Structure 1
Amino acid sequence: MILVNNPGTWSNMYWPLKHAKWDGCTPTDLVFPFFLFAVGASIPFSISNGIQEFPKILKRAFILVFLGLVLNFFGEWSFSNLRFPGVLQRIGFAYFLGAVLYGEKNLKVRIFLFLSLLVAYWYLLEFVPPPGASEPSMKEGKDWGAWIDRQLFGQAHLWKFGKVWDPEGLLTSFASIVSVFCGIFTGEFVKASSERKESPLSVSGKIALGGFILLLVGGIWGIYYPINKSLWTGTYSLWTAGWALVVISLFTVLEKYNILGFGSLQSFLLPFGKNALLVFFGSGIFARSLNIIMVTSPEGKKIPLKNMIYQEYYKSWIESPELSSFLYSVTVLVLWFLILFFLDKKRLYWRI
């Protein structure tokens, strides 16, 4: 997400680095559900019975929500307009419910909850009109989630670009638990396969098959029930989980045979994975800091430090606005890689 969240300018970005305007799914729209999928996949390896480990789970969830609020407050400095929902808030909320509901011996219960959530949310969006509406709606600001967020949080505490709706709202956060469940089911399968000492290629093949099935179901259902990130529709959950499984399967094969020098790519990516919370929170603070520090431009105007850096060192000599914007984000990515590489060498990780 560093490449996506740190462009030289939001006005000029390559298509794969943009979110879909509403319905649809771009490569960027895969990142957040992949992260929730990974959160779910880690649960079977760290928890045996969620109810019994409730205090630990609650503590982790609370810290994530708190950090999300701090991130939203930084640079805005306003409690009256503080955005309550957010990425870390959703991760904390979805992790909390997914972990508490997890038990090594309640697989059938979780499958029932998974299917019930898919069907109930679909029925609500497709067939039940929100209060004050004459018909069901999945349009911006007119869906059930937007109505609930306005009632619960108040319009002043929602995403300022959505104004009357929030892409990380409460109802869609409940819906995102489907992505966590998909990760949990996958984590359980990988754990069981490891205990049975199945070959990596056998496991990879089964994971790929599961991925193609989810892509097929999500794609066909998506003809009638849109794949939509902002609403976190069931088709979006299934479609992105399908791609997550396909990527896992592919990476398993690439790692086993070191195809295309995959080992080197792994070495580059691992520091990000080991310090994922630090890099997300830190890069957010870093980007906001560059936007609130004001400097004087060569023309004598007061502008954010980020704008001056971009204009003077990227836009001024690169003809393509998309390329200059992209290279700025690459620079930020390299900077964070160096920081994380150093921390990894020192074995310094931010864990909660």
Structure 2
Amino acid sequence: MKNRVLSVDIFRGMTIVLMILVNTPGTWSNVYAPLLHAKWHGYTPTDLVFPFFLFIVGTSIALAYQNKTSGTSVYNKIAIRSLKLIGLGLFLGAFTITFPFFKDFAEIRFPGVLQRIGVVFFFAAILFINLNWKKLIWVAAILLIGYWLLMVFVPVEGVASTLERAPNNLANYVDVHIFGTHNYKPDYDPEGLLSTIPAIVSSILGIFTGLILTSKHDKKTTLLFGIGGSMLLVGHLWDFIFPINKALWTSSFVLVTAGWANIVLALIYFLTDVKKIKLGSIFKYAGANAITVYFLSSFITKLFYTIKVDEDTSLHGWIFNKIYVHDFMTMELSSLLYGLSVVSFYCLLAYVLYKRRIFIKV
């Protein structure tokens, strides 16, 4: 990737590390509140992690495709990468350790994190190659406003729409009628079909940041802080009529999370690219093989939960209870230490891959 920006690599790696941390506590029964998702409306630090990654996908698109023009070969590469991501996500959802190594078809969840990344990458990349930044602003605005109007004003089978977990929540209604049993839960899917529309905007907003970082603007840090603060303000104002909600990926959620992403990235950019302070190299290593590290962590975690040490105890539970649970510390701390140990392992793996110049592109 030409015109590589160190802060982008660090931000991407930091996001992947946080994704692993929040996904692998020692026990889900004892987790510090900031490391859990909001129960429904509102957001916690954990709710920022996935939109941060979609945001940085957009930033990376701006860096990687800035000199590309539309054409069959470019479209093919974009489509193949998208299909790989979707395929990896479906594999994670379908795999089981018992023969024939895949769940029954009715039990396989179709949506998922990697699937959403693949779909969002595809549309964001195609839009970036074909539209200038002014048209992209219009696309982003139309998608966010259109999603708000759909979710609030379109009735479901004659019943007024709701933004709660209910049958007349339009996003849930669409998912249930298209995917049937292939959802995360019967009453909502955090990576559902309709909510992928505003998720594309999360990536488009990252594209704008990528364009700023590669521009000749002499006050990039100030500009990013200003844009981030403005998005936070608008997002929180929109929250009054369209609540901030990760599960529904509401338009207010898109703006608030992109606002925080700009602010965090601006800070990292100022320290690393402007002031040349050597900071966060371990995150850079993770960022170089981000999807690989995330996929391995998800796959191995699934194995640890599936493999049984005895009839009632998984390998994950056995390791946690034997090594991390002690009378002199709280269960929340034990759970966090387990997660940090997992993160440390994948940071070490990422470091080894980086030093050996092994970069697995998906």
Is residue 2:31 matched to residue 1:26? no
Which of 337, 341, 348 is the equivalent residue of 1:338? 348
Alpha-carbon deviation of 1:303? Answer: 1.3
The match for 1:312 is: 322
Is residue 2:265 matched to residue 1:248? yes
The match for 2:206 is: 183
Is residue 2:227 matched to residue 1:210? yes
The match for 2:254 is: 237
1:1-352 map, 5 Å: 1-47=19-65, 48-50=68-70, 52=72, 53-75=74-96, 77-103=103-129, 106-130=132-156, 132-142=157-167, 143-154=169-180, 156-159=181-184, 162-192=185-215, 196=216, 198-199=217-218, 202-255=219-272, 256-257=274-275, 263=278, 265-296=279-310, 302-352=312-362
CA distance in 1, matches of 2:136, 2:58: 13
CA distance in 2, matches of 1:276, 1:288: 18
Unpaired stretches in structure 1, ≥5 consecutive residues: none
Partner SS, residue 295 of structure 1: strand
Render the CA deviation track for 1:228-280: whole Å, top value 9, x for unaligned. Answer: 0010011000000000110111112222436xxx62x4112111111110111
Unpaired stretches in structure 2, ≥5 consecutive residues: 1-18, 97-101
TM-score by length of 2: 0.88
Partner SS, residue 359 of structure 2: coil
Render the CA deviation track for 1:180-236: whole Å, top value 9, x for unaligned. Answer: 1101111112222xxx3x44xx11011101111111111111122100001001100
Alpha-carbon deviation of 1:28? Answer: 0.6
Alpha-carbon deviation of 1:45? Answer: 2.0
Alpha-carbon deviation of 1:54? Answer: 1.1
Runs of 4+ in 1 over 4 A off after TM superposition: none
CA distance in 2, matches of 1:344, 1:317: 39
Alpha-carbon deviation of 1:16? Answer: 1.0
CA distance in 1, matches of 2:327, 2:344: 20
Partner SS, residue 313 of structure 2: strand
CA distance in 2, matches of 1:116, 1:182: 13
CA distance in 1, matches of 2:328, 2:85: 39
CA distance in 2, matches of 1:207, 1:104: 24
**How many pairs are equivalent?**
334
Give the alignment's Cα RMSD to 1 decimal.
1.6
CA distance in 2, matches of 1:243, 1:158: 29
Alpha-carbon deviation of 1:141? Answer: 4.0
CA distance in 2, matches of 1:166, 1:103: 30
Kept after mapping to 2: 8 A contact 1:229/1:236 = yes
Kept after mapping to 1: 8 A contact 2:286/2:293 = yes
Segment drifting more, 98-107 vs 28-37? 98-107
Segment drifting more, 107-116 vs 71-80? 71-80
The match for 2:8 is: none
TM-score by length of 1: 0.91
